[in-house]
Amino acid sequence: MSLKITELCVNCDVCDPVCPNQAISLGVEIYEIAPNLCTECLGHDDTPQCVEVCPVECIIIDPDHTESREQLLAKYATLTAEEHT
């Protein structure tokens, strides 16, 4: 599953730099997570780093982008393969 930042976001800027896939960016009003880039940090870390650093706990599982662990790892493999080409 991809993660999602809710409207509780206070734009504190701590999530963006810790995302290993550069999936987080500042949207119109709050930070947003690109589902096609989010792997919940699988392949990089044991836990989603944005969730770890978020002071207001506004990052949740995105119900509109459910993926299995295998799908997330496949996405990770694709993203990291692109980095090495």
DSSP 1-32: --EEE-TT----S-HHHH-TT--EEE-SSSEE
Say what the pLDDT of residue 1 is.
Answer: 74
pTM score > 0.85 for this model? yes
Structure tokens at 9: 């976001």
pLDDT digits (tens, 9 = 90+) for 19-77: 999 999 999 999 999 999 999 999 999 999 999 999 999 999 999 999 999 999 999 99
Read off the pLDDT of each residue in 4-19 and give the average, rounded to a whole number.
Answer: 98
Distance in angstroms (rounded) separating the CA atoms of residues 33 and 58: 12
Token pair of 43 as six digits: 């392949």
Assess whether pLDDT exceeds 60 at residue 85.
Answer: no
Q: Tell me the pLDDT band of 82, cut-offs 50, 70 and 90.
A: low
Cα–Cα distance for residue pair 17/8, rounded to 1 Å: 19
Domains and CATH numbers, the chain: 3-83 (3.30.70.20)
